[in-house]
Structure 1
Amino acid sequence: MREYLKGFMDNMQYAEELLREFLVFRGFTNTLQSFEKELSTDIGRNFQVDKILDLVFSVYLPNYQADKLIALLNFFKQRFSSSSETVFISTLSKLEVSILRYYIVNALQSARHEKVVEFFQANGSYLLQKREDWTPWFAIPYIKNPSLDPQFRVYFSKEWFDALHLSFRNFLSEVFNGTRIPALLKISTEKNTVKYLKDGIKQLNNKLSQLQALLETKEAEILYLQSLAPSDREASVLKEINSISDLSSEASSKDDGVSSRVKDFCEPVNDSLHIGEKITTANCGESSGSTGVLDKSTVAKSSSMAGSGGQSPSKHEKSSNVLQMAHTENTIDVLGEEEFPEVKVDFQETFLGHTSRISRCRFSASGMNIASASVDGTVRIWTYDSSTPTSRNATIYCGAEIMSLDWECRSDRLLLIGTADGGIKAWNVDAKRVVCDLSTTTEFPSVLDLKCSPVEPIFVSAAASRWNGFHKLDRAGFASLTVWNMKTWKAMTVLPLGEDPPAITSLCFNHNGKILAASAADGMIHMFDMSAGLQITGWPAHDTAVSSLLFGPDETSIFSLGSDGKIFEWSLQNQGRVLWSRDCSRYCFPESLKICRHEIALDSNGKRLLVTSGSVRSPIYQVQGHTLGLRTLPHSGAITSVDWHPTLPIFITGSADHSVRVTSII
């Protein structure tokens, strides 16, 4: 559902740009101004029933615009062309008769008999062609008291009007819930499909090149072994066995720290291994005493060596085991984050529009725009793709340190900004203006986090009673969790946290907006039922303050990052159970807390976890599967904020060097 909405919003924004271009080309400047005005007041409601009802009953009928009313009704009838929609056509025809009759009744009640006469003069032929009996209605302008006439009395009653209004509302709701997407919104579908296919072809070509290079290497090894004499091949194998045995003896003399390090990085989430898992897992398991499983390439290589050397089966087994031990030793050497391989970059863009340290950076819900904030109170909205329109680019001056950013994901038009002085601003990117400027209570001046519901027009703010800097997250005072209505821009309720609760540091909604997770400065994670406005559960997750949390990809787990650098994935089905963990304290060390509030970000597949860093590089941990992690390319300062594109393998990193970098990886 989320991907469908995201694609729909992409198409809608593309269609809006096309419409702007067309209006400018034709010189329809007045229409363009009206169009922009409508967009600036809209917060993302598609197919609004209330607007159609207001148009009919508050504009067309009171102003006696019969031609526009009939045109609107005919437009709706033209939208239903298939045989499966005949029931809608029949219902709409009945509603049309009632609405037109109410037009006549409304004119008579307002003593505008001339409007009734004009109506019949303009539309008499049209009405007589219909099956409904309109003949008696042609006499109604000449009846002295039509409201008392038995034939027309019911149409003058309030009950009949209320029933008509409700029936039309229900009809529109039913139609819009299952409506077809307008043709204009389908224009970008083919464009997006072609782009997706091109990206797929590029990735497949890269993978093909890698496999071809690997194949050439293996073929060269086979040719080399075949070129040796039998005695030379046997001597070569024995030399390799002795060399690897020495490595194994040396490794066995290392202290227990290496063993625990291997276990930390390679121990799978499940208790048992399965056939088909990557060789790294099997090798790491062997280093702790269990039996490993070689992949096909290793087995093939061992068999080839044994056959060419005339080895007996026992020698073949020994060679395979020793070769596997060598693979294990190599795996140990690359397990540290500082030795993770660098990401393979497809493209990279660097934004240099800030003049101070980056505090937050976020992709919009569509991924087309980026909002980045710096500690000097400046927010920049920009795009990394040259094919994306720059009409939304803007600079927002907030006058205080920016502590939180979040995009309203239903419309992709609103950006919420939370500041250290208790301010919450709503910026409309199409209108390029602040549409609402809120303030928290004076008791809670620091807005540590903001999160918009993915479904409802609401957002939640986490405010703290004081702010002493990132390195004193556990001293941020007391917490206040407020739910705000994005229609009225007023506070709806305050979520209960108990007496003198520690500051809430991070928020996240689940996919349907029914559950809100909140992390606290005392290491707790709280879960709230948003429909009831009550806390439903909670558990102690860290010994230190929790600086960031987010739901897992399947909504059955939740990730948390402590200020001590420990990362946990918690099961939501078996509360308190840790499914996966990592210690990235070498990146989230105490000194780094002076310049940033560390956070984590998951990619769209939920397989890669990106973490902020006190170093110039950030680690990217592999959450699912058992492959090794990656490292980002270096900034020239600490990495203070991270985020992933909502659908693509693209991430952003904001840095203390004032830059924001967009990286697309292969």
Structure 2
Amino acid sequence: KRNVTSCLVSVLVGMGSAVERTDKHVREYLLYRGFTSTLKQLDSDIKADKEKGFRVDRIIEQLQQLVQSFDLAGLKEYWLYLDRRLFCRLEDVYRSTVNKLRTSLYRYYVINTIQKGNLEKTQEFFQKQALELQGQAEWRDWFILPFIPTPEQNPAFGAYFSRQWADTFLVSLHNFLSVLFQCMHIPVLLSFDAEVQRMTSLAEENEQLRQVLFALQTESRDQKDGDEAVQHKLPLYVQNMDRLGDTELDLVSSQRVVSAAATPSRNFFSTLLPQAKRAPMKAPPTSGSPSQAALGRKELPANHAVKSKELSQSKEVKAASCQSSSSEPPSSQPQALNHSSRHRRIQEHEKERKELFSRPAPQAAESRADDVDATAAKSAVEPPDSSGREDGGLQVEQPFIKLSQEEYGEHHSSIMHCRVDSSGRRVASLDVDGVIKVWSFNPMMQTKATIMSKSPLLSLEWATKPDRLLLLGSGVGTVRLYDTEAKKNLYEMNIDETHPRILSLACSPSGSSFVCSAAALSRSGSVDSVPRLPIPVSGQLLLWDTKTVKQQLQFSLEPEPVAINCTAFNHNGNLLVTGAADGVIRLFDMQRYESAMSWRAHDGEVYSVEFSYDENTVFSVGEDRKFIQWNIHRCGVKQSEQVLPQDATGPFVLSGYSGYKQVQVPRGRLFAFDSEGQHVLTCSSSGGLIYRLTNGEPALDRVLPLGGHKAPVVTVDWCSAVDCGTCLTASMDGKIKLSTLLAQKS
């Protein structure tokens, strides 16, 4: 009975919450239309609603309140209303059940008057109900109840004075009303809400089934596909974990090359930043003089044969690499190439591409090459104008156009964190004074909530499901779960008194759990000393369940417990990457809850880590100012490395009058990728900087400075959940800039 009751309670609570949300939307609509009189009438009707928004628990509370206050007239009137509104619509077979519940409700009232010692109300009940009850057999013996000295000891009435009878009656009434509401006709507005919830649950179930299917397919693959699979403990389901398979990548690559060859000119405003992530496409490195590169863009028919040869060679290399990443084991084909041979073929392919692009143009185009040479040489000295064209009329290939830049200036001190939620609707920003602002920027910039904290805050993270919740990590060993819509704390979790600094938080994509990095106090005893100690302090990495609000486990940090500065999940939550104060990157298998691999990545602390778009590599930024790409299938192997400027990695310094100097160590995200994983946004002293990721040297190609800041930028984020991509850059003077970008066709 308790299990059935709990199921009914969950169904009715969901229906009640749907009614509340629908009432809220209707009120918002009436207010938008200016129907103020209708809105007032709606509010008054909601206050006088006797059905309590179809919340059975509130109806039971109302009945109990009338019983406890000895309001017999109100009790009879409320039951008659329920009878006219609900019970009269039932079939005749349920009439006897309704009569039994009414009889039990009256007995519940009489027993309460005797237990409270109010015999006047007991006699009043029988006087007013005599005409109605004296003809009923179940009430025949109850008229002597007021005259029995100790009715609770009487065999005929003793059972009704027990707690068990009262609980049984209330549960039975609750279940009856729950089933009644569940079987009622639901309006279209409420059924729409239920349909949305059903589709959401189906989508989650489908995602889980896809993961199970993917795991089963990878487990059946031949384990002799390469030596790298034995070198470390990375699980099988991660070996070829591209979000798009190599076949799909090759198809997208071919389509892009063909479309680029078929359209010699581009329309700057022909496409916006896509919402869905596509396969990352790196720009081909071109060598040779500027005249040859410009001529290759302008004289399309002249080098069409060169591009065709390049495309065919690209497909050959792709076909060879597809054999190693196919999801089905080969039967009659030779053994698949391992990662090292695949990497060597790609390098050879890039070398051939450079040679092809460095060849001189045909003789028919030599007469025009001099003019293009002069124009290209001029563009190397003079930057292009705002129209995106040079004086010679050639287009400058820029991946983004900065449409606008807005400023959010509600903070009065340096920003520590600035994060956009998964839906791209809200931004949460935290400053060094512990003030958190939750605000939106689409369609207009508006502050939604302000959170003040007595204890110092060091970290924040948006929950994934639902995305309105915030995780707030303090400097006193607590993590709060805050509802940004209701503007209240839901839970406050005590993590660890010996490790009170909550340095990093990361919520799993499913929303069912989150990881929490807790560190001990610095030797100075402060929450955050600047600069940090040369010897890393002790730390813990914990996994918490967001539903039960309980700690699930503590991860093993080898070779010693150390403070974890940054954490990040992959797209399905199967992997977790962390960067620590000892310069070590650790990769955890979240299905087995154990470390898959670890390697020393930086000289000094690791400040930020992120998975690449295809999630076969990891990017990191450290105290040594290096931006490094690591291959997670080959432990400790670098894909690329780039030294960043000092103002991109910190510690950040803001100088003022009379020798005043403010120093801030990195806390928030130091770099962020666009929706396709081709470009990265970093910090600088005057605003954000956008780089293009390349396969050659250097690893980063500077594309677009965003500017707009008068103080050093300390954290960035790149929101691509909406059509127009928005870059967020937060600085030490409390200003946050939102730069709206427009992507051009590639």
- The bucket for the TM-score relative to the shorter chain is 0.5 to 0.7
Which residue number corresponds to residue 437 of structure 2?
380
Q: What is the total number of aligned residue pairs between the two structures?
A: 464
Is contact 1:548–1:562 with CA below 8 Å preserved after alignment? yes
Is contact 2:407–2:738 with CA below 8 Å preserved after alignment? yes
Is contact 2:506–2:514 with CA below 8 Å preserved after alignment? yes
State the secondary structure of the residue aligned to 1:469. Answer: coil
Deviations 1:362-406 (A, max 9, x none): 112211111111101111111223447x5x612211134432111
Pick closer, same or farther for the CA change 1:526–1:634 going to 2, 3 Å: same
User: Does residue 507 of the first structure (1) align with residue 578 of the second (2)?
Assistant: no
Pick closer, same or farther for the CA change 1:487–1:575 going to 2, 3 Å: same
Is contact 2:429–2:437 with CA below 8 Å preserved after alignment? yes
Deviations 1:592-637 (A, max 9, x none): 3842316221222222212233x22333221267864322214111
Return the match for 2:481 from 421, 426, 429: 426
User: Does residue 291 of the first structure (1) align with residue 355 of the second (2)?
Assistant: yes
Which residue number corresponds to residue 653 of structure 1?
729
Deviations 1:567-610 (A, max 9, x none): 12222233333233322144346653842316221222222212
State the secondary structure of the residue aligned to 1:366. Answer: coil
Return the match for 2:704 from 630, 635, 646: 630
Within a 5 Å distance, the mapping from 1:454-473 to structure 2 comes to: 454-467=509-522, 468-469=528-529, 471-472=531-532
State the secondary structure of the residue aligned to 1:633. Answer: coil
5+ long unaligned stretches in structure 2 = 1-18, 65-77, 108-135, 139-171, 183-190, 201-265, 274-290, 296-341, 385-396, 523-527, 654-662
Which residue number corresponds to residue 546 of structure 1?
606
Q: Which amino acid aligns with 2:666?
A: R
Which residue number corresponds to residue 29 of structure 2?
22
Is contact 2:496–2:518 with CA below 8 Å preserved after alignment? no
Task: State the 1:656 CA deviation.
Answer: 0.8
Is contact 2:463–2:511 with CA below 8 Å preserved after alignment? no
Q: Which amino acid aligns with 1:455?
A: S
Task: State the 1:460 CA deviation.
Answer: 1.6
State the secondary structure of the residue aligned to 2:365. Answer: helix
Within a 5 Å distance, the mapping from 1:70-81 to structure 2 comes to: none
Distance in 1, Cα, partners of 2:504 & 2:466: 20
Return the match for 1:351 from 405, 408, 411: 408
Which residue number corresponds to residue 270 of structure 2?
204
Which residue number corresponds to residue 676 of structure 2?
605
Q: Which amino acid aligns with 1:368?
A: R
Within a 5 Å distance, the mapping from 1:161-176 to structure 2 comes to: none
Pick closer, same or farther for the CA change 1:481–1:329 going to 2, 3 Å: same
State the secondary structure of the residue aligned to 1:293. Answer: helix
Task: State the 1:471 CA deviation.
Answer: 3.5
Pick closer, same or farther for the CA change 1:113–1:32 going to 2, 3 Å: closer
Within a 5 Å distance, the mapping from 1:502-541 to structure 2 comes to: 502-541=562-601
Pick closer, same or farther for the CA change 1:347–1:484 going to 2, 3 Å: same
Within a 5 Å distance, the mapping from 1:241-390 to structure 2 comes to: 272=346, 291-293=355-357, 299=361, 303-306=364-367, 330=380, 344-387=401-444, 390=446
Give the percent of matched residue pairs that are identical in Structure 1 and Structure 2: 23
Within a 5 Å distance, the mapping from 1:46-61 to structure 2 comes to: none
Pick closer, same or farther for the CA change 1:342–1:377 going to 2, 3 Å: farther
Of stretches 393-402 and 367-376 in structure 1, the one that deviates more from structure 2 is: 393-402
Pick closer, same or farther for the CA change 1:402–1:304 going to 2, 3 Å: same
Which residue number corresponds to residue 135 of structure 1?
none
Distance in 2, Cα, partners of 1:479 & 1:415: 23
Q: Which amino acid aligns with 1:651?
A: C
Return the match for 1:644 from 706, 715, 718: 718
State the secondary structure of the residue aligned to 2:532. Answer: helix
The alignment's TM-score, normalised by the length of structure 2, stands at 0.51
Distance in 2, Cα, partners of 1:550 & 1:540: 16
Q: Which amino acid aligns with 1:652?
A: L
User: Does residue 438 of the first structure (1) align with residue 493 of the second (2)?
Assistant: yes
Distance in 2, Cα, partners of 1:326 & 1:646: 33
Distance in 1, Cα, partners of 2:21 & 2:741: 25
Aligned-pair Cα RMSD in Å: 5.5
Distance in 2, Cα, partners of 1:359 & 1:507: 16
Distance in 1, Cα, partners of 2:639 & 2:86: 61
State the secondary structure of the residue aligned to 1:382. Answer: strand
Distance in 2, Cα, partners of 1:399 & 1:56: 36
Q: Which amino acid aligns with 1:441?
A: D
Q: Which amino acid aligns with 1:635?
A: H
Task: State the 1:515 CA deviation.
Answer: 2.3
Distance in 2, Cα, partners of 1:400 & 1:409: 25
Distance in 2, Cα, partners of 1:107 & 1:575: 74
Distance in 2, Cα, partners of 1:357 & 1:604: 28
Which residue number corresponds to residue 595 of structure 1?
664
The alignment's TM-score, normalised by the length of structure 1, stands at 0.56
Distance in 2, Cα, partners of 1:383 & 1:179: 27
5+ long unaligned stretches in structure 1 = 1-11, 39-50, 75-95, 116-140, 144-157, 169-175, 186-199, 208-217, 223-267, 276-280, 309-315, 335-339
Pick closer, same or farther for the CA change 1:547–1:55 going to 2, 3 Å: same
Deviations 1:268-289 (A, max 9, x none): 98864799xxxxx88xx99xxx
Which residue number corresponds to residue 149 of structure 2?
none
Pick closer, same or farther for the CA change 1:323–1:481 going to 2, 3 Å: same
Which residue number corresponds to residue 508 of structure 2?
453
Pick closer, same or farther for the CA change 1:291–1:498 going to 2, 3 Å: closer
Q: Which amino acid aligns with 1:643?
A: D
Is contact 1:269–1:580 with CA below 8 Å preserved after alignment? no
